[in-house]
Amino acid sequence: MTKTGAGRFFEDYAVGEVIRHAVPRTLKEGERALYHALYPARHALYSSDPFAQACGLPSSPLDDLVTFHMVFGKTVPDVSLNAVANLGYAEGRWITPLWPGDTITASSEVIGVKQNSNGKSGVVWVRTTGRNQHAETLLSYVRWVMVRKRNPAAPAPAPVIPELAGALAPGDLAIPRGLDFTGYDFELAGEPHRWADYDIGERIDHVDGVTVEEAEHMMATRLWQNTAKVHFDLTFRPEGRLVYGGHVISMARALSFNGLANAQMIVGLNGGAHANPCFAGDTIKAWSEVLDKARTPAPGVGALRMRLVATRDGKVGHTHGEDGKYLPGVLLDLDYWVLVPV
Amino acid sequence: MTKTGAGRFFEDYAVGEVIRHAVPRTLKEGERALYHALYPARHALYSSDPFAQACGLPSSPLDDLVTFHMVFGKTVPDVSLNAVANLGYAEGRWITPLWPGDTITASSEVIGVKQNSNGKSGVVWVRTTGRNQHAETLLSYVRWVMVRKRNPAAPAPAPVIPELAGALAPGDLAIPRGLDFTGYDFELAGEPHRWADYDIGERIDHVDGVTVEEAEHMMATRLWQNTAKVHFDLTFRPEGRLVYGGHVISMARALSFNGLANAQMIVGLNGGAHANPCFAGDTIKAWSEVLDKARTPAPGVGALRMRLVATRDGKVGHTHGEDGKYLPGVLLDLDYWVLVPV
Amino acid sequence: MTKTGAGRFFEDYAVGEVIRHAVPRTLKEGERALYHALYPARHALYSSDPFAQACGLPSSPLDDLVTFHMVFGKTVPDVSLNAVANLGYAEGRWITPLWPGDTITASSEVIGVKQNSNGKSGVVWVRTTGRNQHAETLLSYVRWVMVRKRNPAAPAPAPVIPELAGALAPGDLAIPRGLDFTGYDFELAGEPHRWADYDIGERIDHVDGVTVEEAEHMMATRLWQNTAKVHFDLTFRPEGRLVYGGHVISMARALSFNGLANAQMIVGLNGGAHANPCFAGDTIKAWSEVLDKARTPAPGVGALRMRLVATRDGKVGHTHGEDGKYLPGVLLDLDYWVLVPV
């Protein structure tokens, strides 16, 4: 019974190594429809071909988070099968939209390792890149995870801690070829608020909520071929299946339509924390805060740096307790750049 | 926190106003597959391209109720966000089938308003039209809802109550271009009963039942981008999420295959009542009654006016109590025209 | 109320009769996406068009089990509506892959009947064939079921018991046109194990598990237009909805990726037993045993005859008790041929 893989442990990662992840995936119209069934997604550019074409694109791309989930899912068997915790994200850049019919492959370069002082685990940093069938980069991002050691007696590697940007500079954002918001139809998109209407520091309560069901988060997680046991197997985790953190990201992003209907294309992921685990029965709500604003060279296209917070208690504004830790009602704290008509 | 919309209240509707609904939607093969996963749909014309082509159509259209749900979903933020009750439907006409790849947009004209005597709410009538990307009408129907007033002290508008047909006349039914049932394959369709075999007054017990699950009705409702809170958020409605009334319509219609396998294309909606709320755990069953019959000018194509009743107690025949109200076991009472091989 | 069918009873089957099953179905990209959402399917040939093309195929076919489920679903109204038990499968041969856009029709020839000694039921053998729109055979297999008699007093037919192969000979396996594993990319497929690495008698514990949800098995079963009441209607079966046996097959096959990632194409079904009923809440796990090995004439393509056992107790190796009956933790015992790079 040695045909199944046990996954990598901390001592299996060497800085500089490039891991080619398995099982390429072709995504088409079926995945688009499922995304709309699993999340209350309404951003017009991802809902309508003619709307996307009026914005200068050849057709409506698949949701930017589909790219993220799919690439992330590919990395699970190699990066997070023995992970104790998903610690953070940085420098996430969406370079090319994902079109129906595209095939995603993914690879990760190990860019940092640091053994923990307890000697039982360590932190591994990887820069993961997802590519389409033309070898164009769809998305790249840095993720770091805490991974168990197979053998606590194994010697600690020389620590390498990568220098990571706290946030992408506006000039680092890739604007999809052809994107043009000068003829943007705000009425058809659902809200009148343009880039100029958002102020740094402004908070938006997205009001709506969705109570999570087991069947839904499992279908989503499987769709991205993320097969981490904790999401599926109640015998492995009798206290309750853990909802894939990306399910919370997509749910919160979709809920943010109500107040951010014109925040169309996600182009940067500055950071993110899965503050607390989410389980079926939790009701996900979301609020946002405008962190920064920038113009882009594309016609009519501005960028907003947004903080997106998902909660299970519906509270808006407070995320941390006096001890500096996340409050138990907070599920997600995400920092991203999004393109908005000016 | 003023970026989110509170929806319209009774005093926000003026007769003659046309509301252009937001978020166009392109529908393709993914939505077709999901429809077959969510409902036990088996009508051959919507299941098989060659079967549809043998009936004179270019290919198999998306289910007629997909058009209805999608158009209805578009109207929710503008028409029913503050609705207390969905009161009725009339004059629903399917004009053009929905083909995979089509993009739906929707608008509604306010055709009636009448304040209630309590001064706290009123009834609003709208005629909603869904169109494809060629600006052809897919479907139009009248719906009326009871809506709360924002300000009870606001003056009552002059009442306008539209005159509505009790049922569409057969001559008002639009027959899809090319439809021809002269070579109809009854064996392949699943039942031998043709138009001539149905008698006015005849009742059919469709026998089968489906017990509703939360994940399924939420996926369906999201797919139509209907984001009314009551369907999704248990903190908003702790007594149980309300199942979208259209989910019951599609479930009952699909169940009606057993006895009405040849009732292929829905072309008219004469009226309908969501008699009682439906919740997860209810077992939906259905029965039908033949209300009227008509010939059409299309070769081999007849029309049946059908009553479709969905229940949660499986009882057939009785719908109203001695008080004239719907019995608690009745979920839906629908009156529609459907095309059947003669 | 005579429009609905009661299904066939034992005395309605005559050896030699060919039953043409109703409701053809066109399958496309939506069904592919749903398969990936419902099962943790990761075999690369069914996940990626470029991977399939590198194996000599025109594109990625739909999963072989989609063909099986869809054909099986078509037979339910004619074969198993009044079945007491699904007794076995034999001589299953996948002849032509199922491509997106194909339309499936199915028919069954009655090849055996034998009344039970109790006089109340009998066994019926049918050879079912699924075909595409070009009348090419996709799949054919023998199934036998125990069916109730309508009238216990009806005379017993002359018994006809077909001779069935215990297992397909390697020469009986149809290799898809063009299949060539000489350039197979094991890294991209997810595991290094090739045909030569598997030994007859070897067992593989597939480790992962999925706890079954009601919404998921119902969506899967509806997708195949299998509308047997027991899977959907809690009022019909208050002790719990029975999970469609094919759902367990697909779940176990998908779980077998972990250890059998290169077991790409299923080409033969030698036999199978649904050992015990499966219900929502059960956690499906799987293990495999190598039963036989064979070379094929296709370049780089070997065949493995595998036993796939699905359990709900996670136990590996034991399937039968001292009484010769299946242990209660066993759900499925399947015997199939699969194509693997040599």
Q: Enumerate the residues of chain B whose CB falls inside 8 A of the CB of residue A99.
A: none
Q: Are residues C195 and C326 in the same domain?
A: yes
Host H or E run for residue C307: strand C301-311
Nearest CA in chain C to B47: C25
pLDDT for res A327: 98
Q: How high does pLDDT run on average in chain C? A: 96
Which pLDDT band, with edges at 50, 70 and 90, does B8 fall under?
A: very high
**Domain membership flag for residue A183:** no
Q: What is the dihedral of CA A243, A244, A249, A255, to 10 degrees?
A: -40
| B292 CA: distance to closest CA in chain A (Å) | 37
Q: Specify whether the CB–CB gap between B55 and B180 falls below 8 A.
A: yes
C175-201 per-position pLDDT tens digit: 999 999 999 999 999 999 999 999 999
Report pLDDT for B222: 98
Between positions 60 and 89 of A, the ones with CB within 8 A of B are 60
Residues B103/B31, Cβ–Cβ less than 8 Å? no
**Residues C169-190 as b or e (16 or more Cβ within 10 Å = b):** ebeebeebeebbbeebbeebbb
**What angle do helix axes A214-223 and B214-223 make, rounded to 10 degrees?**
60
Mean pLDDT of C157-174: 97
Read off the pLDDT band of C6 (50, 70, 90).
confident
At residue C341, φ and ψ (nearest 5 deg) are -65, 135
Q: pLDDT at position A166, please?
A: 92
B214 and B117, same structural domain?
A: no
Report the gap between the CA of B216 and the closest CA in chain A (Å). Answer: 9
Which ranges in B147-198 belong to alpha helices (H)?
Answer: 186-189
d(CA B72, CA B83): 14
Q: How far is A62 from A98, CA to CA, in rounded Å?
A: 6
Q: Do A213 and C215 touch (CB under 8 A)?
A: yes
> Is A51–B218 a contact, with Cβ atoms under 8 angstroms apart?
no
Q: Which of C218, C230, C247 to mutate to test the interface with B (most CBs of B within 10 A)?
A: C218
Residue type, A332: L
| C211 and C341 both lie in a single domain | yes
Q: What is the pLDDT of residues C215-259, one digit of tens each?
A: 999 999 999 999 888 999 999 888 899 999 999 999 999 999 999
Decide if C197 is inside a domain. Answer: yes
- Helix (H) / strand (E) element for A92: namely strand A83-94
> Are residues B205 and B331 located together in one domain of the fold?
yes
Q: What is the pLDDT of residue A58?
A: 98
pLDDT attached to residue A2: 78
Reply yes or no on whether the pLDDT at B80 is more than 90.
Answer: no
Q: Is C45 helix (H, G, I), strand (E, B) or coil?
A: helix
Residues A226 and A220: their CA atoms lie apart, in Å, by: 9
Does residue C221 belong to the interface with chain A, where contact is any CB pair within 8 Å? no
pLDDT digits (tens, 9 = 90+) for B97-126: 999 999 999 999 999 999 999 999 999 999
Q: Could you tell me which chain C residue has the CA closest to the CA of A241?
A: C211
B8-27 burial by CB neighbour count: b if 16+ within 10 A, else e? bbbbbbebeeebebbbbbbb
Estimate the crossing angle of helix A245-255 against helix A214-223, to 10 degrees.
Answer: 100
Q: Chains contacting A with at least 3 CB pairs below 8 Å? A: B, C
Distance CA B137, CA B132 (A): 7
A98's torsion region: left (phi>0), alpha (psi -120 to 50) or beta? beta
Give residue A4's pLDDT band: very low, low, confident or very high (50, 70, 90): confident
Q: Does B314 score more than 50 pLDDT? A: yes
- Bridge partners, residue B130, by sequence: B106, B139
Distance CA B99, CA B58 (A): 9
pLDDT of residue C1: 47
Asked if residue A43 belongs to a domain, the reply is no
The answer to whether the Cβ–Cβ distance between C28 and B31 falls below 8 Å is no
- Residues of chain B contacting A216 with CB distance shorter than 8 Å: 215, 218-219
Phi/psi of residue A12, nearest 5 degrees: -90, 0
If asked whether residues A109 and A222 sit together in one domain, one would say: no
How many whole angstroms separate alpha carbon A205 and alpha carbon B114?
Answer: 33
In this model, does residue B11 exceed pLDDT 90? Answer: yes
Is A31 a residue whose pLDDT tops 90?
yes
Q: Is the CB of A133 inside 8 Å of chain C's CB atoms?
A: yes
Last residue of a domain, one of A120, A148, A176: A148
pLDDT category of residue A37 using cuts at 50, 70 and 90 = very high
In a domain, B54, yes or no: no
Rounded to two decimals, the ipTM of the complex is 0.96
Pick from A29, A47, A208: which is nearest to B25 by CB?
Answer: A47
Which among A215, A234, A236 is the nearest to C215, CB-wise? A215
Query: Helical H runs in chain C?
Result: 29-38, 49-54, 64-75, 186-189, 214-223, 245-255, 257-260
Question: For residue C70, is it within any domain?
Answer: yes
Among B1, B24, B30, the residue with its CB nearest the CB of A32 is B30
- Which of A148, A173, A199 represents a domain boundary (last residue)? A148
Residue pLDDT, tens place only, B91-104? 999 999 999 999 99
Predicted local confidence at residue C85, as pLDDT:
87
- The answer, yes or no, to whether residue B273 has pLDDT greater than 50, is yes
d(CA A229, CA A7): 12
Which chain C residue's Cα is nearest to B185?
C22
The residue type of C147 is V
**C109 and C235 co-located in one domain:** no
Which residues in chain B are closer than 8 Å to A189, comparing Cβ atoms? 22-23
Average pLDDT over residues A83-88: 90
The tokens describing C142, both together, are 């023998």
Shared domain check, B339 and B269: yes
The residue of chain A nearest to residue B235, with distances taken between CA atoms, is A283
Q: Tell which residue, B26, B78, B34, B125, has the closest CA to residue B227.
A: B78
Structure token digits, residue B34: 């999901």
Mutate to test the interface with B, among A36, A204, A256, A312 (most CBs of B within 10 A): A36
**Is residue C133 located within the same domain as residue C198?**
no
Q: What CATH code is carried by the domain that includes residue A129?
A: 3.10.129.10
Window 297-316 of A: residues touching B by CB (8 A cutoff) are 314, 316
Cross-chain Cβ contact A37/B222 below 8 Å: yes
Residue B283 has φ and ψ, to the nearest 5°, of -100, 115
Q: For residue C82, what pLDDT band results from cuts at 50, 70 and 90?
A: confident
Q: Which two tokens stand for residue B290?
A: 């033949």
Q: Which residue of B has its CA nearest to C30?
A: B30
In a domain, B159, yes or no: no
Residue-wise pLDDT tens digits, B31-68? 999 999 999 999 999 999 999 999 999 999 999 999 99
Say whether A48 and B103 touch across the interface (CB within 8 A): yes
Among the partner residues B24, B214, B222, nearest to A36 by beta-carbon distance: B222
| Contact present, A180 and A264 (Cβ < 8 Å) | no
Looking at C148, C174, C197, the residue that finishes a domain is C148
Mean pLDDT for the stretch of residues B155-161: 97
Residue in A34, A208, A261 nearest the CB of B229: A208
- Measured distance CA(B24)–CA(A156) in Å, rounded: 56
Average pLDDT, chain B: 96
> Does one domain contain both A202 and A325?
yes
| CA-closest candidate to residue C307, choices C298, C297, C296, C316 | C316
Q: Does C214 touch chain A (CB under 8 A)?
A: yes
Query: At residue B132, does pLDDT exceed 50?
Result: yes
> B286 — contact with chain C (CB < 8 Å)?
no
Distance to chain C for B7, nearest Cα, Å: 32
* Cβ atoms C170, C303 nearer than 8 A: yes
Q: What is the 3-state secondary structure (H, E, C) of A274-310?
A: ECCCCCCCCEEEEEEEEEEEEECCCCCEEEEEEEEEE
With b for 16 or more beta-carbon neighbours within 10 A and e for fewer, the A260-277 pattern comes to bbbbbbbbbbbbbbbbbe
- Tokens standing for residue C184: 């197979």
pLDDT band at A1 (very low <50, low <70, confident <90, very high): very low
Q: Which residues of C touch B54 (CB under 8 A)?
A: none
Residue A132 — φ and ψ, nearest 5°?
-90, -175
Element (H, E) at C331: strand C330-341
Nearest to A24 among C29, C40, C48 (CB): C48
Task: Give chain B's length.
Answer: 342
CB < 8 Å to C228, chain B: none
Interface test with chain C among B28, B31, B32, B218, by most C beta carbons within 10 Å? B32
Q: Which of C23, C33, C233 faces B44 most closely, judged by CB atoms?
A: C23
Best CA proximity match to B34, nearest among B62, B4, B3: B62
What is the rounded CA–CA span in Å between residue B205 and residue B57? 31
Nearest CA in chain C to B285: C233
Please name the member of B31, B60, B283 whose beta carbon is closest to the beta carbon of C234. Answer: B283
For the stretch A102-151, pLDDT in tens is 999 999 999 999 999 999 999 999 999 999 999 999 999 999 999 999 99
**Neighboring chain C residues of B49 at a CB cutoff of 8 Å:** 26, 103, 133
B153 shares contact with chain C (CB less than 8 Å): no
Cα R_g (chain A), whole angstroms: 20
Contact B209 C222 (CB under 8 A): no
Give the number of other CB atoms < 10 A from CB of residue C135: 7
Residue from the list A1, A31, A33 with its beta carbon closest to the beta carbon of C204: A1
Same domain? For C132 and C212 the reply is no
Residue B19 lies in a domain: yes
- Locate C139 and state its tokens: 């799949």
Q: What integer pLDDT is reported at residue B189 of this predicted model?
A: 98
Residues of C in contact with B213 (CB under 8 A): 214-215, 218
What's the number of domains chain A is made of? 2
* Neighbour-count burial of C87, counting CB atoms closer than 10 A to its CB (0-12 exposed, 13-18 middle, 19+ buried): middle
Per-residue burial over B317-337, b if 16 or more Cβ lie within 10 Å, else e, is eebeeeeeebeebbbbbbbbb
In a domain, A19, yes or no: yes
What's the maximum distance between 2 C-alpha atoms anywhere in chain C? 63
What type of residue sits at position B168?
A: L
pLDDT surpasses 50 at C156? yes
Domain encompassing residue C130: 8-27+62-148
Q: How far is B22 from chain C (nearest CA, A)?
A: 25
Assess whether C193 and C342 both reside in one domain.
Answer: yes
Upper half-sphere CA count for residue C290 (Cβ side, 13 Å): 22
Q: What are phi and psi of B108, to 5 degrees?
A: -135, 135
A205 vs chain B: nearest CA distance in angstroms?
A: 6
- Those of residues 187-206 in B touching chain C at CB distance below 8 A are 187-191, 193, 197, 203-206
Q: Tally DSSP H helices, then E strands, for chain B.
A: 7, 11
* C213 and C124 together in one domain: no
